[in-house]
Structure 1
Amino acid sequence: METTLFYARAACDTMMRKFAAADLPPKGHFYYHQGVFLSGVLKTWQLTGEQKYLDYAASWVHAVFDESGKVKQYKRADLDDIQAGILLYTLYDATGDKFYRRCIESVAAQVQDIPRCQCGGFWHTCGSSNQMWLDGLYMVCPFIAEYARRFDRPEWTDLVVNEIRLMREHTRDAKTGLWYHAWDESRKADWCNPETGLAPEFWGRSIGWVPVAIQDVLAQMDPDDERRAALELYVRDLLTSLLRYQSADGRWYQVVNKGDQPGNWFSFMLVSFCLFPVNLCKPEISDE
């Protein structure tokens, strides 16, 4: 009988046959597309012990960083260009090679360059001025949280907890409990509500990033940190709210609350639910 590990290996092996590590698209770009996939490759290595998976991820990192630890094609600081930094921690632990430590510091320097909204939250991209998107929680928060723990930078834990708090504060809909895809502090984006700055939809894919991001942050935080309870409640509240929109066959739509409308389709965001070990029997949370 096939197991989840069987499918993980099959997926990794298929991609490894199709692409040399250096050719993973977008080729040459230090980006979340490769980072998300290679995170899975490294988890498969951890579960199987097969060296080829570790070597493949390492080969990609060497293709996009120079030997000084700088990103070869670095042009600007966008959240999507931070996510793949989480690979570096595993590679550093596995090899002890100081090259990966230099790369970690290079990515950390990029975090410092990301523009901020007046409220203190990160812009999603330099071209999306004053905009916070749910996707950004996964793109930057796990890297920051792990950096904080490893290198004793408690102010970085403060930064990431505040980012999550701000995202919820500005995107959560009090009526449904769902989080809108994005928020424009300036109210100038052509997609936003000119009064609230909110995006028009609850997008399944973007909501799916939220529990995964917060889970990864919690894994790096001190077990005694009093802020953990609030983060867990954020996720419990969001997932409980999503249960109201589950289809009869157990799936969710990409536009979460519009499953009865033509053109909508099922989303794969359900995977995020399976990754977060919270007690959904206690959904109470204050809106304040």
Structure 2
Amino acid sequence: MKLLVNSLLLFFGILVVESTTARPLSYAIWAANSAIARGQGNGLDSSGKPLVSYEHGELQWALRLLFERTKNQTYYDYIKTGVDNVVSANGTVGGGYSTTQFQLDPIRVGPTFLYLYERTKDEKYRVAADAFHNQLMFDQSRTAQGQFWHKKIYPNQGWLDGVYMGDIFYAAYTQAFQPNNVTAWDDITLQFTLMFENTIQKVATPNHTFSGLLYHGYDYSHTTVWADPDRGHSPEIWDRALGWYAMALVDVLSIIPTSHPGNAAILTILRMLAPRIAAAADPTSGVWWLVMTQPGRAKNYFESSGSAMFVYALLKAVRVGYVQDPDGTIVAAAKKAYRYMVNNWVVDNGDGTMNWLNTVQVGSLNTDGSFDYYVGVPTVVNDLKGLAAFALASIEFEHLTY
């Protein structure tokens, strides 16, 4: 009977999150509907001009999952409208996209191009996807090892962010149009493994907590101001950069063929990192510090986008079977973090929408990559990078509920 009631509640968009606590909407639906009500992630900037944005691509991924779960046409229509705002009838990608900048961030919208092409067979989406693929194949600079530069203006730098931005699309495109292209699968695997090998924290350093996780990025040339003599990595582990990479791991494993050795290689990385991420959570709150290498330091704080990304990645990793959790430690960590998120970072506006708090506006390696830089960046209410991550985390949490 309880299962039947819960199923009916889900059908009508209602989720009982805890046995003693009810909210009018599932948090996933509430977050998504709030973003839609504010016009976020719709392929337009705040002034109404077309914009190709990785934040929009992140939200579109969440809306796609919600559409597949709820069959609510609103989510699909919003995805399609958002892409149609930046892709012309002949497939040209506008919205400020320029191949001369050679950056990975815009490529995050690419999986939505592929999704719409699969559903509609409209050639404009294929043409748009081809443009992004051509950038990766022919225009994007690489290090001598083969890692994509994050952007042209950052020579020889690989950032964790870039794996999420570029390589999920790269994998999805290969799956859709070149499934037997072993060279492409090798290359995708290389992007993940090079990033891991060049950024993993190998030793404890003065005034830094050792977690065995990944620094924000690295400079293969060792020429930028922050490049450490050890592999050129940046000085700090920043939560959202690691969050991007963690989400990329769990998302790409459903795309890269299990018959290709890259699947096992990426799975090995995930299985190493997942328990370490769970263990790095603050023991009291259950969520994660902005600068993970210096937990508890003055001016450091619990940051919401990275925390939501970790919850999504950890819960999905266990649910799908990528990571074993025999004693329930990983799921328990994710659930504790999720409870903190809904109790501290979700604000009911009283009008059917919610606000999302404590997402840091940006994190870049175009400065000195120092602790003071990261903690000096302001937080933003309803920053889409965090709100979309919370929707994704909620989708996974709600898999536990039902």
TM-score (norm 2): 0.65
Q: Tell me the equivalent position of 2:299.
A: 263
User: Equivalent residue of 2:119, what SS?
Assistant: helix
Work out whether residues 160 and 242 of structure 2, in 8 Å CA contact, stay in contact via their aligned partners in 1: yes
User: Equivalent residue of 2:293, what SS?
Assistant: coil
Counterpart amino acid of residue 324 in structure 2: N
Counterparts of 1:22 and 1:114, CA distance in 2: 24
Counterparts of 2:256 and 2:61, CA distance in 1: 20
Work out whether residues 83 and 138 of structure 1, in 8 Å CA contact, stay in contact via their aligned partners in 2: yes
Counterparts of 1:138 and 1:179, CA distance in 2: 14
Counterparts of 1:241 and 1:50, CA distance in 2: 37
Map residues 28-177 of structure 1 onto 2, 5 A cutoff.
Answer: 28-72=50-94, 73-75=96-98, 76-112=101-137, 113-152=139-178, 153-175=181-203, 176-177=211-212
Alignment of 1:197 with 2:232, yes or no, is yes
Shift of 1:24: 4.4
Work out whether residues 202 and 257 of structure 1, in 8 Å CA contact, stay in contact via their aligned partners in 2: yes
Q: Tell me the equivalent position of 1:180.
A: 215
Alignment of 1:23 with 2:27, yes or no, is no
The root-mean-square deviation of aligned C-alpha atoms, in Å, is 2.2
| Structure 1 unpaired stretches of 5+ | 282-288
Counterparts of 1:57 and 1:49, CA distance in 2: 13
Alignment of 1:275 with 2:296, yes or no, is no
Counterpart amino acid of residue 138 in structure 1: Y
Q: Tell me the equivalent position of 1:285.
A: none
User: Equivalent residue of 2:15, what SS?
Assistant: coil
Counterparts of 1:204 and 1:128, CA distance in 2: 21
Structure 1, residues 165-205: CA drift from partner, whole Å, max 9, x if none?
A: 11111111223421111101122222322564211101111
User: Equivalent residue of 1:119, what SS?
Assistant: coil
Counterpart amino acid of residue 275 in structure 1: K
- Which of 9, 34, 40 is the equivalent residue of 1:14? 34
Counterpart amino acid of residue 314 in structure 2: F
Work out whether residues 180 and 202 of structure 1, in 8 Å CA contact, stay in contact via their aligned partners in 2: yes
| Structure 2 unpaired stretches of 5+ | 1-13, 18-24, 204-210, 327-402
Counterparts of 2:33 and 2:277, CA distance in 1: 34
Structure 1, residues 183-238: CA drift from partner, whole Å, max 9, x if none?
A: 01122222322564211101111111222112222111222223322211111111
Counterpart amino acid of residue 142 in structure 2: R
Q: 1:105 to 1:25 in 2, by over 3 A?
A: farther
Higher gyration radius (CA): 2
Counterpart amino acid of residue 315 in structure 2: C
TM-score (norm 1): 0.90
User: Equivalent residue of 1:228, what SS?
Assistant: helix
Runs of 4+ in 1 over 6 A off after TM superposition: none
Identity of counterpart residues, as a percentage? 29
The number of residue pairs the alignment matches comes to 282
Higher relative contact order (CA 8 A, sep 6+): 2
Counterpart amino acid of residue 262 in structure 1: A
Map residues 202-241 of structure 1 onto 2, 5 A cutoff.
Answer: 202-241=237-276
